[in-house]
Amino acid sequence: KQEVTQIPAALSVPEGENLVLNCSFTDSAIYNLQWFRQDPGKGLTSLLLIQSSQREQTSGRLNASLDKSSGRSTLYIAASQPGDSATYLCAVLETSGSRLTFGEGTQLTVNP
C-alpha cells in the first residue's frame, strides 16, 4: 500500500526566507507527483505536477524536484511571502491511474 509522508508537519518562517518542504513515498511505481496548496476552508489548488520521467518543474518562485528511485520530492519556495501561508500537500498518482494518495501536509506560516 502506497504511503506518503511529509516533513515537517508545520513550519513558521520570517518573510523573505527560502524554504524546502519534503515529501517521501514508499512505492516508486507512480505516474506522477503533484504539489497542492490548501487555504483554510478552501479546496485544493494544484501548484506543480511532475511526471515520473521528469526531474523537476518550476513555476515562478516554486520549484519541485522528483527522485522517483529514492521515493522523494521537494518543494522549494524562494523569497517567501505572507501570502504563501497555507497547507501544502504532496500527492502521487498510482499506476492504477485513478486515485491520488496524499501526504498529511505541511502547514506553512510566513510571518511579516
Partner 1 sequence: GAGVSQSPSNKVTEKGKDVELRCDPISGHTALYWYRQSLGQGLEFLIYFQGNSAPDKSGLPSDRFSAERTGGSVSTLTIQRTQQEDSAVYLCASSLAGGPPDTQYFGPGTRLTVL
Q: For 84, phi and psi rounded to 5 degrees?
A: -80, -10
Q: Site mask, partner 1, residues 40-79, x = CB under 8 A?
A: -xxxxxx--x-x----------------------------
Q: For partner 1, which stretch binds (CB under 8 A), given 11-19, 65-73, 77-85, 89-97?
A: 89-97
Cell of 78: 524562494
- Cis amide prior to 112 (ω within 30 degrees): no
Strands 30-38 and 86-94, by their bridges, are antiparallel
**Using CB under 8 A, which of 24, 28, 32, 107 touches partner 1?**
32
Q: Are 19 and 77 in contact (CB under 8 A)?
A: yes
For residue 98, the 8-state DSSP code is S
Q: Which of 93, 106, 108, 110 binds partner 1 (CB under 8 A)?
A: 93
Of 64 and 80, CB closest to partner 1: 64
Query: What is the distance between the alpha carbons of residues 81 and 86, in angstroms, rounded to a whole number?
Result: 11
Alpha-helical regions (H) of the chain: none
The answer to whether residue 105 forms part of the interface with partner 1 (CB under 8 A) is: yes
Output the smallest distance, CB 108 to partner 1, in A.
17
Which residues of the shown chain bind partner 1 in the complex (CB under 8 A)?
31-32, 34, 36, 41-46, 49, 51, 89, 91, 93, 96-105
